[in-house]
Amino acid sequence: MATAERLSALLDEVAQGGRVPYLGAGVAALGGGGQPASPPELCAAIEARVRAPKRARGNMWSVAQFVESRRFRKTLESIVLDAFAGDPAPGPLHRWLARVRPPMVVDAWYDSGLIEAFRAEDQPGWGLVQGVSRNGEWHEIWTCAYDADLTLVGETPDPAWDVLLYKPHGVIREGHSFLISDSDYVEVLTEIDIQSPIPEEVQARRTGRPFLFLGCRFDDQMLRLFARQIAKRSSTGHAAVIEGELTRMERRFLDELGIERLDLPLSAVAEALAAPA
């Protein structure tokens, strides 16, 4: 099967609910809008405000930890909220997913594009569950859930929702929480192998469904670890759209999870969605 035909078939499986889309930061980049659209870009935005030590520079999680430790959490939150200020329009992939409404979408970046796309469709029956920082919390909490009005409904999503948006790293926007510093991830990484931080409804909806990774790179251990654990006990037959040269660790990761790789730019996905049926 030609690559373009294979991509079309994979997108059809997403639209029909048989495959879970897993969005990386590259999807936010596709939408434009000027917000950080990769860990290095967000790291640079933080370092533009606070000079980090040499040992931490270029590592988003380490730089965030330095700011949190030396300038307190509120300073870190203010910096990243400024970086994600504005109201960029959702990208083409966000808008398409809001129209076809698959049972679950995993969005592994901090932006609100996917949320705003679903809000713009103005259809009920969807909700959001997101990872939260335990900074300042005094009880075991991993996630918070919000309905289609973005009203907090508790810590766990409603199984009755037609569509579940899962943002495991959280959302950088006012009134929401996010994981970004090393300390945010300490307990999550301790528990994630036994799946405690991953909501049961997410685990239920991934069962029997392979994933389609879009806009993802796996050149960082944190990104690989989350993708591995979220896809755990799902199904075989994963696929990913990743253009260009892979790192050694990316190749190993794709082999480990049995991920079929389509060497295409993410813009090819947008073009496929725009093509007449």
Average pLDDT over residues 72-87: 93
Residue 32 has pLDDT above 80, yes or no: no
Q: Specify the residue for token string 């030396």.
A: 70
Span 226-260, pLDDT tens digits: 999 999 999 999 999 999 999 999 999 999 999 99
Domain locations along the chain: 3-35+84-272, 36-83
The CATH class of 3-35+84-272 is alpha beta
Residue 119 has pLDDT above 80, yes or no: yes
Span 3-27, pLDDT tens digits: 989 999 999 999 999 999 999 999 9
**Maximum CA extent, the chain:** 55
Residue 87 has pLDDT above 90, yes or no: no
CB 209 within 8 A of CB 141: no
